[in-house]
Structure 1
Amino acid sequence: MISGVGVLVQVVPEAFNMTKLSLDWVVGSAVRRSQLQNDQPFLYWLESRPEEQGRSVLCRWSSERGIEDLTPAPMNLRARVHEYGGGEFAVGAGKIFCISDHDQQLYWSDTQSLQWQKITCPASHDIRYTNFCWHPNGKFVVTVRERHQAEHVLNDLVSISLSGVVVQVASGADFYSSPTISPDGEKLAWIEWNNPDMPWDCTRLMEATLEATGHIEDARCISDGRAQSLQQPRYAPDGVLHALSDVDGFWNLYRFGERSPQPLLPLQEECAMAPWSFGQCSYTLAEERIYLLSWGETGSTLWQIDSTAKPLEHFQGRLAPYVAAKNDQIFLLHSDTSSPEQLICRQVGRAAKVISGETNAAGHNWVSPNLCHTESGVPFWLYPLSAEPSSKPTILFCHSGPTGVASPAFNPVYQFWLNNGFQIADVNYRGSEGHGRHWRQSLLGHWGEYDVADSLAVARFLLEQGWCREGSLFLRGNSAGGFTALHLLVQSRCFAAAALRYPVVDLPTLAGVSHKFEAAYLLRLVGAESLDDARLQERSPLRVLDRVRTPLLVSQGEADPVVPLAQAELLKHALEQQNVPVQLSCFAGEGHGFRSASTLMACLTDELTFFRHHGAFG
């Protein structure tokens, strides 16, 4: 190891020379798996495939039959509640329940015939469902519903029978998630919260008596979330409710029995991620033990809790927030630092078995990230191309969210940039998840300030320590990361060029058209109290774009419901008025977060060409 001021890096061979990567491989390796569910003898999951225009396919595996695709085209399992999806299917009682994006209709099938039957309850882009939970009798599911009306968006919990009968279960709160039913079918628990909070700010854990008809009685608050975020409620086989809470600073697992909540494994690490989407499952309750995931600064850990708690394995890179188990098999989604994501099966005393994912990536000379800190303590991941600072072209990445996170997990896109001679610096500014509640909440009221200051501290560190030089530092940011990046361009001329995807540009306009889930979030992030609060205007990049001189490439989906195309058009027009080189590329059919292989390849090609044209190399 070689240490520098504020940074510790692994030795990288001076004769560094990776096998040239094709764009087809880079994009094809971006397949994403999620939502592991076990219904013996099968393991089920959702798989998003760029080569199929981002279609999400329901898959399953068993040792006898291998991997099977269960949903034929054009079925594309994607929920639209909150616009970020998740929770698109549920397996239980020998049946599968799901929602398909191509018609926003609900479908079900038994697990043997796989004959999909459309459920006739009202469903459309104006009536959306997600986060399904089967009743043990197999006659209905409880689910989150979102209704888009002329002037309002209403969220509630409903039960839906296989014949399409809809019964309202719970209403009155602004948002709902995570319905879960006890093994005997007699209790229902869920999470709810109100504006202006987000689900990682303050939520409530609720419970009620559930009738066989799908109605509830005696709804009561189990834990008030005025100073905590609760998520992922789940019943143990003995009927005792469990959930994750960050009341002590980190999301840890609690048992909600007859007495006050009992922490099962107090950790100074997160046991969950910010629930931007539905369906996370970072612990599973078996008959005699609990399997739990946690995330530290340098990796992830699988824990076993029974009469005691012990770590079963520490993973380099990052585990996705999903775990399932059957018998002595534990199923995980793992991206280490040197291979794309793999679905693996772990058994005590045996080597992990790869069920799905690339297995021949080890032959490449990948660059692994190194955890670094600026002198002011800002954490970031550096992917160096040499053992010592050598003024290589470097891209500073601002993650999205802003409650996102930079992690050491293998990233095919980062390897693409490294393969083309660019180092990567990935910043975890204040507000990032994965560092506890205090760090996550610290950005509230200071978006466009703390995130910018922390990112700028990393940029200055890279320049001062000789990792890059003037004219060879570049900037990337998506969505909220684009907002941070624009403020960086306003405050500093140290970047040779920037490439942004669907950036947040004008806060007053965006707040006026924002979808319900994030409408109040924008206000809280800048400390505004209403849509006409001056702080929205003051913190908006559009107001100060006359100070930007850096060439800018913008990529935007034409169907983006979160950051509409109008934001990118405002940016392009403002920079053209200042004679700043700006290029806007629009992609038909793409929303917030590009899914199609052709779009992803076009973006990378355009960004590489743009950076090479405007940077100083050699």
Structure 2
Amino acid sequence: MTDTTRKQAAPCGAWTSPITAATVAAGATPLSQVLSDGGEVYWLAGRASEGGRNTLMRLRDGRTEELTPAPFNVRTRVHEYGGGATLVADSHIWFSNFADNRIYRIDRHGADEPVPVSEGGDKRWADFVLDRAHRRLVGVREDHSAGGTYPVNTLCALGADGTETVLVDGNDFYSSPRISPDGRHIAWLCWDNPHMPWQGTELWLAEIGADGTLLDGRLVAGGAEEAIVQPEWSPDGTLHFVSDRSGWWNLYRYTHGVVHPVCRRAAEFGGPHWTFGNSMYGFRSATEIVCTYIEDGVSRLARIDTGCGKLAAIETPYQEIRELRVAGDTVALLGGAPTLAAEVAQIDLDTGQRDVLARSIEQLPDVGYLSVPESIRYPSENGRVAYAFYYPPTNKDYAPQPGELPPLMVIGHGGPTGMAASTLKLATQFWTSRGIAVLDVNYGGSSGFGRAYRDLLKGQWGVIDVEDCVAGAQHLVDRDLVDRERLVIRGGSAGGLTTLCALAFHDVFKAGASYYGVSDLKGLDADSHKFESHYNEYLIAPKASADRVYAERSPINHTDKLHRPMIFFQGLDDKVVPPPQSEVMVCALRARGVPVAYVTLDGEGHGFRKADSIVRTLEAELYFYLRVFGIPVPTSLPAVEIENLPA
């Protein structure tokens, strides 16, 4: 039995930890898309051991059931990021299958095999709802069969006989079709390039005719400078939605042709539409809303009296609530906290009783190996304030050697309109339990802090985000918490660009890791899919001046300024940031004699889902840092080829 009364002094980074790469890969089950219907709760669970397959789960009579056995993969690639891949309504369940893009139906009360109800192929579906009056689904259809540069997106109906009928077209993007309780009206969101949905969207409303066509379509709210998310109907047929017209994503309702605020607060009751099917509020009754909102990067659960707009807290242990569904007197949600991995839970709104239905990690490590983050605010460039979560090194068996300060890993999240949260992640604890501090940065441009903070990144991607990461590292150095000579930065996708720019244009970080990161902004434009095809016009510059700014800001054009060791990870099936984005950087560093490693993964796209991929990348990154900083490398750790690094 380990004697925990005295800790062994050992080099930071070389501490032995029970949180291995295999633990990270096997221990975390991705959970998403919580649904509640007829007193039953459903959710999607990712299976890393099955190639990242998503399967639909249900709790019934105290037992957890899997409803979509292999090889079915409940996932859609509409907008490439997907979401909204399943629907539970009345006596059936519908879901989109990733392999063939077909929608399948199963009887929710029986054990029948899934039956295909759509054509699939080049037509992808997401975010479908049931139109009971016309015995059809209505959803977002993304048609890749036309052969143009980009697919055609529409709101489309899918009849019981498989007939597809376009209901609304002409806009570049659609989402969130929602049918009123009496079945007579439908609301939806749409937007057009060059806008992203968190910049400007429109909320439309129409009547559903007797023959199923839409009549009297009219604009309810939104425009080029107003971002709307999650339209929903209250039980009495009042249309509600979340808008950032005040500078914060707050709740509104539409009655008698007029938009009224429901609850005014400097907080976020919605989030950026990266994926379909997100939900941050629901109705307990026509006069009571149960919601989650974000203040200073922390989620809270509350109820709103729609008559007076009063917000009343509901106590939970969660600091991140990603989505929720309200059904009667219960709410089902996906939540997490610093010592609580993401879990699906059901809360009784009358008694407060919380029942956990599924955990992303069934067996948590001993709390003595878990680092609890500190939420910090710190000064950045030009008087700005930035936000982050600081995780100190934590291991009940080890302490730094006398006089030693730990290395620091700075993480820039993806998106870049994303958000770092404090929910327990084994991938973070993998580093902290080995003696490496972590700073997870919510740089300017992150969601969760209001529109003004989100818009800081307008025209400044590769600048503001980088400055805030650099300032965060310097802040911890100034507090004597970390070793200024062992600062590393890592990031994926947009965070990969942050990593590359930090290493090219600043001399603070001593090494870096890029996971499918952007290196060539012009190349990203050329290769990008429809959803993000104009994103750089907002993040970087309008097309008229883009070439100059792209050249100034793309790390591939500044490899002469890169002299710190780097490791690159790239999925070979990535359509969002294709492999050439990494390959050109690797070749440039190799030619210049800079230490570099390149790890490619077959069968992986934008984000790694397979268990062996997770193990391989984590172990490779750890090996890389240990070698670069001269920290003893365990013999059990697989070696990675690092070019230009002396033995």
Per-residue displacement from partner, 1:318-376 (whole Å, max 9, x unpaired)? 33331112232211111111021111111233442111114653742211110122233
Say if 1:428 and 1:546 are closer, same or farther in 2 by CA, change over 3 A: same
Separation of aligned partners in 2, 1:369 and 1:343 = 22
Residue identity matched to 1:58: L
Separation of aligned partners in 1, 2:319 and 2:578 = 31
Residue identity matched to 2:71: P
The equivalent position to 1:371 in structure 2, one of 370, 375, 378, is 375
The answer (yes or no) to whether the contact 2:540–2:546 under 8 Å persists in 1 is no
Say if 1:508 and 1:372 are closer, same or farther in 2 by CA, change over 3 A: same
Q: Check if 1:415 corresponds to 2:419.
A: no
Offset at 1:465? 2.5
Separation of aligned partners in 2, 1:453 and 1:532 = 21
Equivalence for 1:453 = 467
Per-residue displacement from partner, 1:182-210 (whole Å, max 9, x unpaired)? 11111110000011110000000001111
What pairs up with 1:213-612 in 2 under 5 angstroms? 213-288=211-286, 289-297=288-296, 299-306=298-305, 307=307, 309-315=310-316, 318-347=319-348, 348-357=350-359, 358=361, 360-361=363-364, 363-365=366-368, 366-376=370-380, 377-385=385-393, 391-529=405-543, 533-612=547-626
Worse-superposed segment, 385-394 or 504-513: 385-394
What pairs up with 1:185-204 in 2 under 5 angstroms? 185-204=183-202
Separation of aligned partners in 1, 2:180 and 2:353 = 34
Say if 1:573 and 1:40 are closer, same or farther in 2 by CA, change over 3 A: same
Say if 1:80 and 1:214 are closer, same or farther in 2 by CA, change over 3 A: farther
Offset at 1:468? 1.9
Equivalence for 2:135 = 139
The answer (yes or no) to whether the contact 1:504–1:567 under 8 Å persists in 2 is yes
SS in 1 for 2:415: coil
Offset at 1:617? 5.0
Per-residue displacement from partner, 1:389-410 (whole Å, max 9, x unpaired)? 9621110111111111122111
Residue identity matched to 2:303: Q
SS in 1 for 2:79: helix
Separation of aligned partners in 1, 2:118 and 2:45 = 26
The answer (yes or no) to whether the contact 1:273–1:321 under 8 Å persists in 2 is no
The answer (yes or no) to whether the contact 1:92–1:138 under 8 Å persists in 2 is no
**RMSD of Structure 2 on Structure 1 (CA):** 2.2
Separation of aligned partners in 1, 2:430 and 2:323 = 27
The answer (yes or no) to whether the contact 1:369–1:384 under 8 Å persists in 2 is yes
Equivalence for 2:110 = 113
The equivalent position to 2:70 in structure 1, one of 54, 73, 79, is 73
The answer (yes or no) to whether the contact 2:303–2:314 under 8 Å persists in 1 is no
Residue identity matched to 2:21: L
Separation of aligned partners in 2, 1:138 and 1:415 = 51
The answer (yes or no) to whether the contact 1:528–1:536 under 8 Å persists in 2 is no
Separation of aligned partners in 2, 1:472 and 1:14 = 27
Separation of aligned partners in 2, 1:68 and 1:163 = 29
Q: Check if 1:89 corresponds to 2:86.
A: yes
The answer (yes or no) to whether the contact 1:210–1:217 under 8 Å persists in 2 is yes
SS in 2 for 1:546: helix
Separation of aligned partners in 2, 1:315 and 1:528 = 45
The equivalent position to 1:150 in structure 2, one of 130, 147, 163, is 147
Per-residue displacement from partner, 1:419-447 (whole Å, max 9, x unpaired)? 11111011111101110001101211111
Say if 1:362 and 1:254 are closer, same or farther in 2 by CA, change over 3 A: farther
Offset at 1:231? 0.8
The answer (yes or no) to whether the contact 2:413–2:441 under 8 Å persists in 1 is yes
Say if 1:216 and 1:114 are closer, same or farther in 2 by CA, change over 3 A: farther
Per-residue displacement from partner, 1:123-170 (whole Å, max 9, x unpaired)? 21x321111111134711111011223223211100001221111010
Residue identity matched to 2:93: I
Tell me which of the two structures has the higher relative contact order, counting C-alpha pairs closer than 8 angstroms and 6 or more residues apart.
Answer: 2
Worse-superposed segment, 602-611 or 128-137: 128-137
Say if 1:138 and 1:60 are closer, same or farther in 2 by CA, change over 3 A: farther
Per-residue displacement from partner, 1:302-326 (whole Å, max 9, x unpaired)? 1112355343335565333311122
The answer (yes or no) to whether the contact 1:418–1:424 under 8 Å persists in 2 is yes
Per-residue displacement from partner, 1:47-90 (whole Å, max 9, x unpaired)? 1121221110011113x142110001000011111100100011
The answer (yes or no) to whether the contact 2:17–2:434 under 8 Å persists in 1 is no
Equivalence for 1:3 = none
Residue identity matched to 2:445: G
Per-residue displacement from partner, 1:197-228 (whole Å, max 9, x unpaired)? 10000000001111354321111111132321
Separation of aligned partners in 1, 2:57 and 2:141 = 25
The answer (yes or no) to whether the contact 1:270–1:295 under 8 Å persists in 2 is yes
Length, aligned pairs only: 604
Offset at 1:46? 1.3
The answer (yes or no) to whether the contact 1:39–1:94 under 8 Å persists in 2 is no
The answer (yes or no) to whether the contact 2:406–2:481 under 8 Å persists in 1 is yes
Offset at 1:44? 1.3
Separation of aligned partners in 2, 1:32 and 1:319 = 15
Offset at 1:531? 9.0
The answer (yes or no) to whether the contact 2:271–2:448 under 8 Å persists in 1 is yes
Worse-superposed segment, 341-350 or 564-573: 341-350
The answer (yes or no) to whether the contact 2:297–2:449 under 8 Å persists in 1 is no
Equivalence for 2:635 = none
What pairs up with 1:31-110 in 2 under 5 angstroms? 31-62=29-60, 64-110=61-107
The answer (yes or no) to whether the contact 2:198–2:227 under 8 Å persists in 1 is yes
SS in 2 for 1:442: helix
Worse-superposed segment, 343-352 or 402-411: 343-352
Per-residue displacement from partner, 1:10-36 (whole Å, max 9, x unpaired)? xxx995999622333222333122222
Separation of aligned partners in 2, 1:502 and 1:19 = 27
The TM-score with structure 2 as length reference comes to 0.89
Offset at 1:567? 0.8
Residue identity matched to 1:378: A
Equivalence for 1:10 = none
Equivalence for 1:9 = none
Offset at 1:106? 1.2
Say if 1:523 and 1:316 are closer, same or farther in 2 by CA, change over 3 A: farther
Separation of aligned partners in 1, 2:226 and 2:534 = 18
Residue identity matched to 1:391: L
Q: Percent identity?
A: 33
Residue identity matched to 1:560: D
Separation of aligned partners in 2, 1:57 and 1:324 = 19
